Chains A and B, each alone.
Chain A
Amino acid sequence: SQQGEEDPQALSIQEGENATMNCSYKTSINNLQWYRQNSGRGLVHLILIRSNEREKHSGRLRVTLDTSKKSSSLLITASRAADTASYFCATGTMNRDDKIIFGKGTRLHILP
Chain B
Amino acid sequence: NAGVTQTPKFQVLKTGQSMTLQCAQDMNHEYMSWYRQDPGMGLRLIHYSVGAGITDQGEVPNGYNVSRSTTEDFPLRLLSAAPSQTSVYFCASSSFGNTEAFFGQGTRLTVV
Contacts and interface: CB of A to CB of B under 8 A. Distances in A.
A102 B43 contact: yes
Contacts of A98: 97-98
Contacts of B43: 43, 88, 102
Contacts of B31: 97
Chain A: interface residue count, which band? 20 to 34
Given A41-B105, A42-B105, A42-B106, A99 B100 contact: no
Interface residues of B, number: 28
B33 A104 contact: no
Nearest to A4: B42
Contacts of B94: 100
Given A1-B59, A92-B98, A97 B103 contact: no
Contacts of A105: 42
Interface in A86-111: 88, 90, 92-105
